[in-house]
Structure 1
């Protein structure tokens, strides 16, 4: 204790200098808007870089598992494409028809690849940070998906980073449909297990089975139709008894998500905006 007191007494002027510097910098950045904004921007840039380095380290140590998943999925996709090509060729004699159909579907969509640098699954309102921003063409309200299915919607965008509201967020509200059944509803997450979500407002007269796939409906300017969401696990009555609520096992593994694609669906957005303009024009004429 005596040595500590002697040390503090010997270098007390240095401690006083550091304390005064901290106080002056705090006053400078807190009560001067320009300096405060510069500090905030710099801090965000530094934080973003730190998160990016942290994500890079985690990705490196998960490469083995990710490669195994990619190899398995590639094998499945190769088998599926081969079977479909053989079936189309046997029915029509044209093995390139499927390829042309796929190109026709995807021609209006630009995909922006991005990496996840922060992610959470244990909160009521989870968020995902991506390493792409406005400089890369990312805008608010763009859809985000991965190889296994839907991820979420872009919520905030800076120059080099963007924040996504994933399915695992109480604010998430995605229009979906039961594949090949034609019934529509809205996907919600109510907390708890990261692999389970719910679809509300399925009509009582709907016919479907456990195990049916759920996919995006394409009824908004965010997601094109047909992106996989999950598989029906259970069916419940809604609170008012007028519709069904179905429990869905999500195909996206949010606890191990690393690479995603941001969907630039400009063509569909233009179509939706044109339709809204037409509806507004009719309302004005009626008034």
Structure 2
């Protein structure tokens, strides 16, 4: 308290001057319209500038939160764009696959589109895994095709996945015929080049030429007739000399296989059963 009193006593004339100045300014601006308006305008300008600077400062410090919100929104939009892109690609690939001219022989069959999730081509017994299973209507021994031709036959089925026994497997055995010629044999792969296979048991009296198309024969309940397999590159004699062996360039590119369709063979199986029943009936009558 003593220090405060000493300060006031020492600077009393300055304090009195300040008080008188403040009082004079109050009286000047309060009781004179012109000076009052000047003060009001100036005060508003100063306060406006202060508020503007304050607003800019607040906006600057709020940028961090705004950036975080924008980042989150961008991530959400990126995810939506990716989802839409995947959907469009899926539908486009399915549409192209189903409209391919190779699928014309399958127009009257139900096809189940699927994606290849794993595929081997460098073994003697290769397998393919697809992302559809029993819950999608897939069963063992159904045929599998791509937009370019025959792929293989369903070998094992789980609820959501299936294993395909492809042409590139030593156990594969698919009945084929030369398009427009009427001669048929069986397609085998013996290893080595993944774009070449062999059709055995073509009769010696068969007439055909190089680059004729080889297609499925339709003599089983797996593939309907006319699905492309490949084209003839070379002709050899069989080991016993009683038939021809055809070297066939496969139409399916197994190294780049992405989209396939599984053929619902219910109609084919029914047709085979009826044909078998008719054959058995004829045999019984002959006996």
Scaled to the shorter chain, the TM-score interval is 0.5 to 0.7
TM-score, normalising length: structure 1? 0.62
Q: Which residue of 1 aligns with 2:171?
A: 171
Shift of 1:182: 1.2
Give the aligned partner of residue 27 of structure 1: none
The C-alpha deviation readout for 1:196-218, integer Å capped at 9, x for no partner, is: 00000001111111111111111
- Match runs of 1:208-287 below 5 Å: 208-283=208-283
**275-284 vs 124-133, greater mean Cα deviation:** 275-284
CA distance in 2, matches of 1:147, 1:205: 33
Q: How far did 1:281 drift?
A: 4.4
Q: Compute the displacement of 1:282 (Å).
A: 4.8
Q: Is the 8 A contact 1:146 1:260 kept in 2?
A: yes
Task: Report 1:1-287 matches (<5 A).
Answer: 106=106, 108-283=108-283
Show CA shifts across 1:1-50 (max 9, x none): xxxxxxxxxxxxxxxxxxxxxxxxxxxxxxxxxxxxxxxxxxxxxxxxxx
Measured in 2, the distance between the counterparts of 1:248 and 1:205 equals 19
**CA distance 1:207–1:270, shift in 2 (3 Å):** same
What CA distance in whole angstroms lies between the structure 2 residues aligned with 1:192 and 1:276? 37
CA positional deviation for 1:106: 4.5
Preserved contact between residue 132 and residue 162 of structure 1 (Cα < 8 Å): yes
Q: Which has the larger radius of gyration?
A: 2
Matched residue, 1:14: none
Aligned equivalents of 1:150 and 1:172: distance in 2?
12
Q: Distance in 1 between matches of 2:106 and 2:231?
A: 24
- Measured after TM superposition, the shift of residue 268 of structure 1 is 1.6
Q: What do the CA deviations read for 1:173-231 (whole angstroms, capped 9, x no partner)?
A: 10111111111110000011100000000011111111111111111111111111101
1:90-111 Cα offsets, whole Å, 9 max, x none, are xxxxxxxxxxxx6xx6453000
- Tell me, in whole angstroms, the C-alpha distance in 1 between the residues paired with 2:201 and 2:168: 19
1:126 shift after superposition? 0.5
CA contact (8 A) 2:201 2:245 kept: yes
Structure 2 portions without partners, runs of 5+: 1-81
- SS of residue paired to 1:194: coil
**Deviation, structure 1 residue 285:** 6.0
- Alignment correspondent of 1:4: none
SS in structure 2 at match of 1:273: helix
Q: CA RMSD in A?
A: 2.5
CA distance in 2: counterparts of 1:107 and 1:213, whole angstroms: 20
Tell me the distance in 1 between the aligned counterparts of 2:159 and 2:285. 42
Alignment partners' CA distance in 1, 2:145 and 2:210? 24
Take 1:244 and 1:186, find their aligned partners in 2: how far apart are those partners? Answer: 11
2:135 aligned counterpart, secondary structure:
helix
Distance 1:278 1:169, change over 3 A: same
**Please, what TM-score do these two structures have when normalized by structure 2?**
0.62
